[in-house]
Every structure is written in C-alpha cells, then in structure tokens.
C-alpha cells in the first residue's frame, strides 16, 4: 500500500485559495467588460506599473527590440522554433480532410478549418517565458490561423526583447505588452482598441487560468493550464541528485507548483530529500522553490510498479518524468497525464524549451480528459453532406421521415417528406411518416 513520506497542502486548503482567486477574477473581468481600455490601463498600472501610450507595439518598436538580441540568442530562438514547427507540421499532416460515398448518391465528408482569430498569452512577469511564444504563436501559425495576437506582461518595466522576438518570429500579427487577467480579458472580451478573438491559448498563473475558465464559452480555450506540476516516477536505477534536480527544476516556477516523487525505493526517497535540502542552499530561485516544495511537494513510497502506475494515473500530473527499468511499460499503460518524459537522458526542461513537443499542458487532473496544446487545437473539424441522386434523396428521406415521426417532430418529418414527394414521386400525407416500401407496393 502506498505510503506518504511527505504530504502537501490538503484539498480543503487548496479550495480556499481557489475561491479567493475566483472572486478577484470575476471582479476584474466585469471591470474590463464595463470600461474596456480604461480598465486595462488602470489594471496594468496597478499590477505591472506599466502605462505606455499604446499597449500594442508598432513594427518599428518590434524591430528595435529584436535588434537588442545577439546573433547567437536569435539563433537559439530560431532553432527552438524550428523544432516546434517541425513537430507541429508533422501533426498537421496527420489530420486529413475526408470525403466518402457511404452509399450510392450519398457523399459525406469533413474539413479541418483553422480558428479565425486566436489570442496567445505568454507569461513573463516573473520569468520571461520565451518558449511559450513558440508553443502558442508558432503552432497557431502552422495551423493557418489568419489572425494571431499575442500578449505578454512587461518584464522589469519594459517589453522583454527575447519574448517579443519569439512572438514576432513565430508569426504574431499583433503584439501587446500587457499581462495577467487584463490581457486575457481584453483579448476575449474586446475593448475599444482590441477586436476580440475566437480562442484563448497559453499557460499562466492561477489568476490567468481562472480567467480562462470564466471566459470559456464566450471564447474557446486550449485547456486549463494553471500553475505547473511535475511528477517523477523513479526506482533505484537513478540517484537522489537527479531526482531532486528534476523536482526543484519545476518547483521554481511559482509558490504553488506541485512536485511529486513516486518511488519503490526508500533509499531513493531519503536521498532525494537530502539532495533537495542541499540544492536549496545554492539554487538562486530557492525562495520560490522551497515554499513550493514545503506546501505542494509530496513523496509517495509504493510497493511496486503497478502501484506507482495507479498512483500516477490518479494524480494525472502535467509533467511525468519516468526513470525506471521499464520506461516503455509506463508509456504503454499510462492514460492520464500532460506529457511523458521517458528515461534519465531527457527531462521536463527539454520539453519546456526546445525539443519540439508543446509545453502548454493540462493541469489539475485535466489530463484525465484532454491532452495538451497542439496544432489540432487550432483546427475545427466540420462535417458536410450532399445527396447527388433522386434515388438516394428518396431512400434517405423515407427513413428520415419515419424516424422524425418516431420522435414526434412533424416539422422535421416534413423536411424529409417534401423531398420524398418531389424526388421519389411518393405522395406522403402531410404530417405522416413515409410508408414502408412493401406497404407502398
């Protein structure tokens, strides 16, 4: 039976935190709805201390910011975007439009059509999340979205050059320097100067995730991508330093980033605990990582791999790093997670920054019912039908007529009946189901 060697905040405590966030977000979104640009400006001044003449960057401003980067920095950004684009394009190529003749004269099909406008949120108030621009903007570009707008908060009082460059190179058509709820709200609700989008994508803190949740329905969203989560599944094939490094590498994201170790080795659990304490004495982001580990870190000792698998699927963490003697077994059997990182040679940071898979992933157990952001999220699969012969119109119409009457929908039935009369020459009495062919004969 699984044994918790270290526990995190209870679900009750987390729910209380969520309730506070929910109330704040409701008020801010209402303010944006009522006052538009004025509310956005006030909120930007309050939360970011940033009130430019215009939140939207001009092309000359974008060019100047890009020019601040060295050739090597730009090369690194372009390399990462190439990996993301290549994988997104391979995914796009797997999504085919289809058209089939299901019976003589009946043509059915579907088309994959890009969402027409997307708002991409790129976090950056605490750390400039350059990679998030690749994951949202570049992927939307591969999907063929005709209007891509991108928002990121100021970093240390001004636009971050690397983030703006990544947005621009990724294919953003409009770039705004604004953060948090005001950015997400402005993109979804619209203001006097910002035309609302059809869909919001991108990760963010608890407030951004809650804003997306509240705006869902008014616009589409990619998924609930809240504070980052990480899980390490490890046995005695790896050591405490590696595991501790991988746990803290994600815990430094924020004060509420869950980090969980599942292991079958008590020695590894103890060694990891000791290594975490050692690393926290030298990690520059230790203040954040320590608070996150104290409040949201867990170590769960399991009896075997089957129990680790069951725990992992139950927790459904965003990032799941597997370092065992049977990594591919977990790939075969895991069903609830954001993304898997298999073997000690890879790690979550690879996926976050450069390897090519998307890093906007489901959190808060959403991996039970959705995967992460990918090119397919920007595409809508729409079906169509056509009937090309009188015979097919009559036959389908006869069945449709009777099935509509079975449900009591006379108006529906008449849509079928009028075609049975016109294309089949069968005089169906008004408001009745079409006769069976043997009865008609």
Nearest CA among 200, 197, 190 for reference residue 117: 197
Tell me whether residue 13 is one of the annotated catalytic residues.
Answer: no
Tell which residue, 84, 259, 274, 52, has the closest CA to residue 175: 52
The answer to whether the annotation marks 18 as part of a ligand binding site is: no
Binding site annotation covers 253? yes
Please tell me whether residue 120 adopts helix, strand or coil conformation: strand
What are 189's two structure tokens? Answer: 């609700």
The reply, when asked if residue 352 is annotated as ligand binding, is yes
Q: Which residues pair with 221 in a beta bridge?
A: 200
pLDDT at 439: 53
Scanning the structure block, which residue is given the tokens 């790093």? Answer: 321
The verdict on whether residue 182 carries a ligand-binding annotation is: yes
Q: Tell me, rounded to whole angstroms, the distance of Cα 77 from its chain centroid.
A: 21
| pLDDT at position 148 | 98
Can you list the domains of the chain with their CATH numbers?
18-95+114-222 (3.40.50.1980), 227-368 (3.40.50.1980), 389-440 (no CATH)
User: Model's pTM, two decimal places?
Assistant: 0.91
Name the token pair of 391: 């015979």
Q: What is the pLDDT of residue 122?
A: 96
End-to-end CA distance of the chain: 70
Please say whether the beta carbons of 105 and 99 come within 8 A: no
How many C-beta atoms lie closer than 10 Å to residue 319's C-beta?
26
CB 169 within 8 A of CB 77: yes
Q: What residue ranges in 268-365 does DSSP mark as E strands?
A: 297-301, 319-323, 339-342
Q: Would you list the DSSP string of 389-408?
A: SHHHHHHHHHHHHHHHHHHT
> Does the annotation flag 152 for ligand binding?
no
At residue 384, the 3 state secondary structure works out as: strand
319 is in an annotated binding site: yes
Q: Check: CB of residue 197 under 8 Å from CB of residue 117.
A: yes
Is 319 known to be catalytic?
yes
Does 121 belong to an annotated binding site?
A: yes
Closest among 377, 378, 375 to 116, alpha carbons compared: 378
Answer yes or no: is 382 a known binding residue.
Answer: no
Report d(CA 339, CA 354) in Å as an integer.
Answer: 14
Active-site position among 210, 252, 275, 318: 318
What does the CA dihedral 321, 324, 330, 331 come to, rounded to 10 degrees? 70
Q: Please identify which of the residues 134, 168, 305, 319 carries the catalytic annotation.
A: 319
Q: Largest alpha-carbon pair distance within the chain?
A: 90
The total of other beta-carbon atoms located within 10 Å of residue 16's CB is: 11
Q: Which two tokens stand for residue 441?
A: 């004969």
Give me the residues of the chain with pLDDT under 50, please: 440-441
Q: Is 250 annotated as a binding residue?
A: yes
**Residue 300 contacts residue 261 (beta carbons within 8 Å):** yes
CA-wise closest residue to 221 among 235, 200, 244? 200
399 annotated ligand-binding residue? no
DSSP 146: S
CA distance 196 to 33: 12
């Amino acid at each position: 039976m699984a044994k918790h060697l270290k526990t995190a905040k209870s679900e009750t405590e987390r729910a209380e935190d969520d309730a506070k966030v929910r109330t704040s977000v409701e008020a801010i979104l209402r303010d944006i709805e009522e006052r538009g640009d004025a509310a956005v400006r006030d909120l930007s001044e309050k939360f970011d201390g940033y009130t430019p003449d215009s939140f939207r960057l001009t092309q000359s401003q974008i060019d100047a910011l890009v020019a601040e980067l060295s050739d090597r920095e730009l090369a690194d950004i372009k390399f990462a975007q190439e990996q993301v684009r290549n994988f997104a394009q391979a995914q796009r190529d797997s999504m085919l439009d289809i058209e089939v003749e299901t019976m003589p004269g009946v043509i059915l099909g579907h088309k994959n059509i890009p969402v027409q406008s997307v708002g991409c949120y790129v976090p950056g108030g605490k750390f400039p999340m350059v990679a998030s621009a690749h994951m949202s903007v570049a992927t939307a570009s591969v999907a063929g979205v005709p209007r891509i707008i991108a928002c990121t908060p100021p970093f240390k009082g001004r636009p971050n050059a690397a983030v703006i460059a990544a947005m621009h190179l990724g294919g953003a058509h409009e770039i705004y320097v604004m953060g948090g709820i005001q950015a997400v709200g402005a993109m979804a609700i619209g203001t006097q100067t910002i035309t609302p989008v059809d869909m919001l994508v991108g990760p963010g803190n608890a407030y951004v995730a809650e804003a997306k949740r509240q705006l869902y329905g008014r616009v589409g969203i990619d998924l609930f991508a809240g504070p980052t989560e990480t899980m390490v599944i490890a046995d005695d094939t790896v050591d405490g330093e590696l595991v501790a490094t991988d746990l803290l590498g994600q815990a430094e994201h924020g004060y509420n980033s869950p980090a969980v170790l599942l292991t079958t080795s008590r020695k590894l659990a103890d060694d990891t605990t000791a290594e975490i304490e050692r690393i926290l004495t030298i990690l520059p982001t230790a203040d954040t990582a320590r608070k996150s580990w104290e409040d949201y870190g867990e170590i769960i000792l399991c009896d075997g791999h089957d129990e680790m698998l069951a725990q992992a699927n139950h927790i459904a963490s965003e990032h799941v790093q597997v370092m065992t003697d049977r990594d591919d077994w977990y790939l075969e059997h895991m069903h609830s997670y954001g993304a898997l990182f298999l073997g000690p040679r890879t790690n979550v940071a690879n996926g976050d920054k450069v390897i090519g898979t998307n890093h906007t992933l489901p959190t808060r157990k959403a991996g039970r019912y959705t995967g992460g952001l990918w090119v397919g999220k920007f595409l809508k699969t729409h079906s169509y039908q056509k009937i090309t012969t009188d015979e097919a119109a009559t036959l389908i119409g006869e069945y449709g007529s009777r099935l509509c009457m079975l449900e009591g929908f006379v108006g529906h039935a008449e849509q079928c009946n009028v075609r049975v009369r016109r294309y089949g020459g069968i005089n169906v009495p008004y408001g009745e189901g079409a006769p069976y062919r043997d009865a008609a004969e």
